[in-house]
Structure 1
Amino acid sequence: MKHISVLIPEGETSLSNIEATYKMFTKVNEALERAGKLPLFKVQLIGISRETTLSNGLFTIKPELDIRDDFKTDLVIIPAVHGDIVKILTANRDLIPWIIRQHQAGAEVVSLCIGAFILAATGLLNGKSCTTHWLMAEEFRQMYPEVNLMPYKIITDEDGIYTSGGAYSSLNLILYLVEKFAGRSIALLSSKIFEIDIDRNSQSPFMIFNGQKEHDDEAVKKAQNFIEHNFQQKITIDQLASMLCLSRRNLERRFKKATSNTTMEYMQRVKIEAAKKSFETNRKNINEVMFDVGYTDTKAFRMMFKKITGLSPIDYKNKYNRVTEAA
């Protein structure tokens, strides 16, 4: 039987992560027992102490075990946490060496949503790929530059380390683990019971690009503002460099360092974000929106739109257009 440790961090923790994780694995056990088979999982809540009060004071969780107890586990699950990340990591510093020891003893480790910050603090993600909520992507990159962040992903799986994207995409990772440990048929049954799309693999359609301006490079901010106010026009990198009295090479280097995007990538993302908003709010057709945001090549527009959002322009319009829905 596989022992699963669902951690209960100090502070404001996602109750939905904890409850859904516990329920999905225990429901698998129930389904197996109804089929005359032995249960596969033993799921226990593990805390820093035997009682954790969430920061809002409304809920108290009483873990069955705490990290001082002597037990062996096979899978450690870190739920999402909320609030000031530095304070969260400080409050949960005792979890870090415990997670490392469990991994060294053979346990696999899972982070759900923003729980990736606790996992990354262990160093176990260094040199590996991971995902987290797209809203926290820039803060994560700044804190953990040695981790290969893939914020468009729903799930990453590398050398026994698993991560999930934002919010309820954690259910997709738990379902993925159910399939890995219990088989496809049980996973399909679970997906139907919990009404989870078993094959969803990207959080790109949900991402909102607000520009990465959490930096102190004023020249790059001027370039970003110029792009955002003139994206319908043809803007060249040489034009931006000349405007800022920088060499092209210097601008490219500073832009990438400040925003994690090349200048050209930033231009494309600004254009596609404008196209998304247009598709959501009006009745314009694909070509009209394409021209509005500065594209003239239909094929290039469709390819870039799908690369960034995970959907074709027509699929995005059909899915999110408010005018169509109201009609």
Structure 2
Amino acid sequence: MKHLTILVPNGQNNLSSIVGPFKIFNRANSYFLEKTKRQVFHIELAGTNSQVDFYEGLFSVNPQKDIREIQKTDLIIIPSLNHQYEEAIKGNEVMINWLRDHYKSGTEIASICTGAFLLAASGVLKGKRCSTHWAASENFQRMFPDVKLEPDQLITDEGGIYTNGGAYSFLNLMIYLVEKFYDRETAIFCSKVFQIDVARNLQSEFSIFNGHKKHEDEAILKAQAYLEENYQKQLSVEELAKSLNVGRRNFDRRFKKATNFTPLEYLQRIKVEVAKKSFENTRLNVNEVMYDVGYSDAKAFRDIFRKITGISPLDYRDKYNYLFMGK
């Protein structure tokens, strides 16, 4: 039988991403036992303290093992963290070193949402693909520039490391892991029992573009402000760079370094973010929204919208506009 370790980090406030994996894998074990007369995993919660409190002591978790007692485990699940990422890393150094050692010895690791910060701090994500909550992506890129962050992806799978996007999307990662370690039939059974959509593969439709402004390049900050205020106009990146007394090639390089997007990609994301808000809060049709955000080519608008969000403008409106819901 394999061993599954669900970590309980110190000083954190996210309980659902500990309880959720525990319940789903226990249910997968029970189903697989009925079907094959054997279980896949022995499941244990482990940490470095005998008790970890959540939500100001309203709940607490009592890990079954101290991680230092675990010599071998096959799969480790790291739950999501609170928003004090640097404090979380400092408060869990023993766990971070333990993760590094076990990965080097062949253990596979899955991080949920912002649990990727602990995983990245161990160094095992260097040069690898990774996802985390879209709202934490800017902080993650700042702290771990050597990791290939893919904030639109719901799940990444590379070299025995699995990561996923934000919040309750960890349920999709759990179903993914159940299929990988059990089989497809067990994964489908669990998806039905817990009512988890197995078809989701992107978190981009849920993200809110926040501008990526945690940098100190004043010229690029001015360029970002200009693009956000004038997104409806026909804009020339060449003229924008010239107005800031920056050469075009240097401007493009600095813009990409500061924001992780080219100027054109940044402008597209501004337009799509405004379009999303219109679809959510108004009765405007797709063409009206398209013209409002500065597009005149319907195909180009649809293609860019789908590329950034993962779904079509019409599907987005039908899914998120409360004025149309139930009609």
Per the normalisation by structure 2, the TM-score is 0.97
The 1-side partners of 2:83 and 2:274 are apart by 30
Q: Does 1:132 align with 2:129?
A: no
Give the conservation status (yes or no) of the 8 Å contact 2:32–2:182: no
Aligned-pair CA distance for 1:35: 3.2
Provide the residue aligned with 2:95 in structure 1.
95
Aligned-pair CA distance for 1:36: 5.5
Deviations 1:24-53 (A, max 9, x none): 111112112333511111110011122223
The 1-side partners of 2:68 and 2:30 are apart by 30
The 2-side partners of 1:326 and 1:106 are apart by 50
| Aligned amino acid, residue 290 of structure 2 | M
Alignment of 1:305-324 (within 5 A): 305-324=305-324
Provide the residue aligned with 1:183 in structure 2.
183
Q: 1:35 to 1:70 in 2, by over 3 A?
A: closer
The 2-side partners of 1:37 and 1:316 are apart by 45
| Aligned amino acid, residue 245 of structure 1 | N
Give the conservation status (yes or no) of the 8 Å contact 1:4–1:42: yes
Provide the residue aligned with 1:298 in structure 2.
298
The 1-side partners of 2:292 and 2:81 are apart by 40
Provide the residue aligned with 1:117 in structure 2.
117
Aligned-pair CA distance for 1:297: 1.1
Give the conservation status (yes or no) of the 8 Å contact 2:14–2:54: no
Provide the residue aligned with 1:154 in structure 2.
154
The 2-side partners of 1:326 and 1:63 are apart by 45
Q: 1:72 to 1:13 in 2, by over 3 A?
A: farther
Give the conservation status (yes or no) of the 8 Å contact 2:234–2:294: yes
Aligned-pair CA distance for 1:55: 6.5
Aligned-pair CA distance for 1:251: 1.4
Q: Does 1:48 align with 2:43?
A: no
The 2-side partners of 1:77 and 1:35 are apart by 25
Give the conservation status (yes or no) of the 8 Å contact 1:11–1:55: no
| Aligned amino acid, residue 119 of structure 1 | L
| Aligned amino acid, residue 302 of structure 1 | R
Any stretches of 5+ residues in structure 1 without a counterpart?
none
Helix, strand or coil: the match of 2:93? coil
Any stretches of 5+ residues in structure 2 without a counterpart?
none
Q: 1:226 to 1:78 in 2, by over 3 A?
A: same
Provide the residue aligned with 1:79 in structure 2.
79
Per the normalisation by structure 1, the TM-score is 0.97
Give the conservation status (yes or no) of the 8 Å contact 1:77–1:109: yes
Q: CA RMSD in A?
A: 1.3
Give the conservation status (yes or no) of the 8 Å contact 2:29–2:41: yes
Alignment of 1:1-327 (within 5 A): 1-35=1-35, 37-54=37-54, 56-325=56-325
Helix, strand or coil: the match of 1:323? coil
Helix, strand or coil: the match of 2:69? coil
* Residue identity (%): 49
The 2-side partners of 1:116 and 1:70 are apart by 21
Helix, strand or coil: the match of 2:202? coil
Figure out how many residues of one structure are paired with residues of the other and give that number: 327
Q: 1:256 to 1:172 in 2, by over 3 A?
A: same
Deviations 1:222-268 (A, max 9, x none): 11111111110011111111221211122112111111111111111
Helix, strand or coil: the match of 2:43? strand
Aligned-pair CA distance for 1:65: 0.7
Give the conservation status (yes or no) of the 8 Å contact 1:255–1:262: yes
Aligned-pair CA distance for 1:70: 4.3
Helix, strand or coil: the match of 2:5? strand
| Aligned amino acid, residue 196 of structure 1 | I
| Aligned amino acid, residue 97 of structure 1 | N
The 1-side partners of 2:209 and 2:120 are apart by 24
The 1-side partners of 2:323 and 2:70 are apart by 59
Helix, strand or coil: the match of 1:60? strand
